Chain A
Amino acid sequence: MGKLEILNLNQSFPRDDGTRLAVLENISLEVQDEEFVCILGSSGCGKTTLLRLIAGLDTAGSGRVILDGEEIRGTSPKVGMVFQEYSLFPWRSVIDNIAFGLEMRGIAKDERYRIAERYLNLVNLSQFRTSYPSELSGGMRQRVAVARALALDPVLLLMDEPFGALDAQTRNMLQKELLDIWEATKKTIVFITHSVDEAVYLSDRIIVLTPRPGRICRIFPVDLPRPRDRTSPEFAKVRRGVLDLINQNCAIQ
């Protein structure tokens, strides 16, 4: 299971002059179990803020986040996260990074390596088992981060522009791999991006946010069958549809 309900979320931050900066306004959203949604919005519109609330890393000004009927009030092993920045522990080898969550859970060494090994294979990095993060390329690091988040078998996987810092070719490859992983593990995925192309390629539905303060502007279902071909006319048509929508309705007023 992994059904996510977001109810009337608001978030603001104090500013130096004493007023408050409204970042999220009245976000309500339902994400179905095993669904892949992308949250699309321009830089600074509050995407990371929203994801941190879903993750339980921060507390909302008001509103609620409910996962499988239970309100989220802090971090939970049911929710995994891949951060925008590189977040692997540089002092741990790849396998020990993936096994970290299992170690925190008190799982015995043999068992946790056995599990970690499985996720290492899932992201196709078996030959880098004992490497340190500093020895890996950016793309490999994010693959390890995905494996690390999945190792605890969460029902919901949150990803904050995980491929944003990668070159286009690597990014396309990782997007494809991610879809394979999603097919294989059947997680609910909430994926943040500012790339229309990425959102159209990956998601079942695209949630378009307005510029700050972030509100849900439109929800755009992507009905293309997978695997999707970026060069196909259908793909181009959907992408143009999303772009038009943003320009007409969700741009800075």
Chain B
Amino acid sequence: MSIIGIRVHTIREQWPGALAIVVALIFWECYAAFITRNSFLLPGPADVLLAFISLAEKGILLTDFEVSMTHFAIGLILALIIGIPIGIAMGWNRRADEFLNPLIEILRPIPPLAWIPFAIIWFGFTPVSAGFVIFMGAVFPILINTYAGFQGVSRIFVEAGRMLGCTRTLDQIRYIAFPAALPSVVSGIRIATGVGWMCLVAAELFGVSNNGLGKDLWFYYDLHQMDSVVVYMLILGLIGLAIDMVFRYYIDRHFLKWRTGEVA
């Protein structure tokens, strides 16, 4: 099992992974200290640690974190609010599907970052602007997975529901189709958080805001402080990992526990 796998791990299971990280750190430090010997080209772990301490002392990291999480939350919440209802409508109702499908198919392949110019024109240098770019990245995975989940709801469940008095469309969606489709919806949201997180850096980096982890990563690059750049890279990676862990541990366990033991 990998160190970030789904099971709870014993130390015995984890040590090879931890060992790999330690070896990589040592190799990295030696390579930086003895071979490149240039903290601009390749800052070593020690440089990075010092940069982290100095950034943390200045309080920049916390501000950046807050700003980025605001952008991320705006984008993701918008994507949920818009993606889930449209996905439900299209997955449940054939007419809605026929009506919206071509439009979605045209919009979907546009890379989210291509929306940055319009994000700036429409929303200026506000958090909504970065949020919009993240939204464009996150909304399609949510929409498509919700759609697929609702389309895949077995007829037998709907009919069993009808026999038990679940006859109104809204009740069928709420009590049958939604819970049946939930695993697919959740995996869509999980993909969306990953895509959204990638878009975040680019959105901030292209100047739609004055703070944020992505923005300051670029700022320190302009100052040629590559050790600080690495600090931001690692933080971005760790937050992305943390968000994914929420899904692996919390959401899968608490909302989808009925799937344990089920043959997919």
Residues of chain A touching chain B, judged by Cβ–Cβ distance below 8 Å, are 55, 57, 74-75, 77, 79-81, 83, 85-93, 100-101, 103-105, 132-135, 148-149, 152
As a 0/1 sequence over residues 132 to 156 of chain B, the CB contacts with chain A under 8 angstroms (1 = contact) are: 0000000000000000000000001
> Does A134 lie within 8 Å of B164, measured CB to CB?
no
Closest CB-CB distance, A89 to chain B, in whole Å? 6
Please tell me if the beta carbons of B171 and A132 are within 8 angstroms of each other in the complex. no
Known contacts A81-B163, A152-B164, A152-B165; is-contact A87 B157 (Cβ 8 Å) = yes
Task: Across the interface, name the chain A residue whose C-beta is closest to B178.
Answer: A91
Are A83 and B156 within 8 A (Cβ)?
Answer: yes
Task: Flag if B176 contacts A87 (CB, 8 Å).
Answer: no
Q: Choose from A57, A105, A132, A134 the contact partner of B159 (Cβ within 8 Å).
A: A57
What is the number of residues of chain B that contact chain A, defined by CB distance less than 8 Å? Answer: 23
Tell me what chain B mostly uses at the interface: helix, strand, loop, or mixed. helix
**How distant is the Cα of A75 from the Cα of B163 in the complex, in angstroms?**
6
A89:B165 contact, CB within 8 angstroms: no
Q: A87-B157, A104-B171 are in contact. Are A134 and B259 (CB under 8 A)?
A: yes
Q: Are B156's CB and A87's CB within 8 A?
A: yes
Closest A residue to B160 using CB positions: A87
Question: Can you name the residue of chain A whose Cβ is closest to the Cβ of B171?
Answer: A104
B: residues with CB less than 8 A from A are: 156-157, 159-167, 171, 175-176, 179-180, 182, 257-262
Contacting residues, chain A, for B180 (C-beta < 8 A): 89-91
Q: How many A-B residue pairs have CB under 8 A?
A: 70
Give chain B residues whose Cβ lies under 8 Å from the Cβ of A100.
161, 164, 166, 175
Query: How distant is the Cα of A195 from the Cα of B27 in the complex, in angstroms?
Result: 72
Residues of A near B260 (CB, < 8 A) are: 132, 134
A145 — nearest CB in chain B belongs to which residue? B160
Neighbour of B164 across the interface among A85, A104, A132, CB < 8 A: A104
Residues of A within 8 A of B262 (CB): 90, 134
Across the interface, name the chain B residue whose C-beta is closest to A77. B165
CA–CA, A100 to B163, complex, Å? 11
